[in-house]
Amino acid sequence: MLCIKCGKEIPDNSAYCNYCGKKQTVKPKPKYHKREHGTGTIHFDKRYKKPWIALAPSSKYGKGRQYIGSYPTRNEARIALDEFIQNGRPELYNATLSDIYEIWSKTHFKGVSKSAVELYSSMWKRFKNVQEMPVRELRTAHVQEIVNAATSKSSAEIIKAMATMLCKCAMENDIIAKNYAEFVKIPKFEKKEKRIFTSEEIKKLWIHSDNKNVQAVLFMIYTGFRIGEVTAITVEDVHLEEGYIIGGEKTEAGKNRIVPIPQSIPELSAFVHDWCKDARTGKLFPMTIHKFRTNVFYAALAAAQIDATDLTPHCTRHTFASISSAAGVKPEHLQKIIGHANFNTTAEVYIHQDIKTLISEMRKINK
């Protein structure tokens, strides 16, 4: 052996160095005794900030040891595991995905828009097959199956993002150690041509424009408002004398933007005027996005005898863009009106349109 001070070779198990006299006693490494069978396991994983992982004994809910938590020291992990064995599983140990959704939504929904809350609530229904599953039993395959059943790339991405946030919430509450939703793959979706209203369909809408629901669809076609933006418009947002409405959401480019009402289509101003007079709650359409989609949009198509097979409320927005482009509205002006976030640097940074310019551009749109 070598002296711990001078490094010279000395006989094995020497108490002192024969050369410098340094005492050779070395503090032995602590020996950790293996825990008894059925009392759980503690192991070290340097990948985590709190590297000591406590695992409970196997349970009837699944194979393998169950995660209790991660701790900065082995002793804290041991104490937690002993308390777990002695006092039983913690309150959230058997929490289902529904329990985690309730915890997560109470906080997350406070920081997002109303339309985002409705979107998450709608997407949550896609999780129906795993909602009552203990969240510690949720694996990548479960979430992947839900994502694979999505009908569009955007829906698949929202489902994955939502599952990832739910798993993160479970990790923050020491229920799981790994976020399995992060490993989900977004499948490839064929890009379909966006459907717009044909000129014949728009003519049918005008024929039935005495119907308020039909009026709402025409309003969306000639302004480009999203469905969630329409349901959020208040009387205070309407400036009929000046010829525009303030509204919008979703992106920084889309929030609180100025959307002129085409002066060449006076019927639209008349529609909005009547809606403002009837607005008892202050909103032009005081209802949820879901109710508007069902009770207004699709009801309007039915009233106008239009096949709604491949038409959605967002098709009105694409129709508006197509009509505006065909009418000669400049791209940079259209992007300001429609509220797109992804327009080029020149249009975004160097071109500034005032209200009069935007209103003038909308005069190019006719029936």
Residues in the chain: 367
Task: Identify the CATH number of the domain in which residue 317 sits.
Answer: 1.10.443.10
**Residue 46 lies inside a defined structural domain of this protein:** yes
By the 8 A CB rule, do 363 and 263 touch?
yes
The verdict on 273 and 234 lying in the same domain is yes
Is the pTM value of this prediction over 0.85?
A: no
The verdict on 239 and 332 lying in the same domain is yes
The verdict on 333 and 205 lying in the same domain is yes
Contacts of 166 (CB under 8 A, 6+ apart): 97, 100, 101, 104, 135, 181
pLDDT given at position 239 = 94
Q: Which residues of the chain have a pLDDT value below 50? A: 59-63, 251-254, 343-353
Q: Token pair of 173, please? A: 């509450």
Task: Identify the CATH number of the domain in which residue 174 sits.
Answer: 1.10.150.130
The verdict on 349 and 208 lying in the same domain is yes
By the 8 A CB rule, do 84 and 40 touch?
yes
- Domain with 26, as residue range(s), is 1-31
Residue 271 identity = F
Domain count of the fold of the chain? 4
The verdict on 133 and 267 lying in the same domain is no
The verdict on 239 and 303 lying in the same domain is yes
The verdict on 12 and 161 lying in the same domain is no
For residue 247, the surrounding DSSP H or E stretch is: strand 244-247
For residue 71, the surrounding DSSP H or E stretch is: strand 66-71
pLDDT given at position 87 = 66
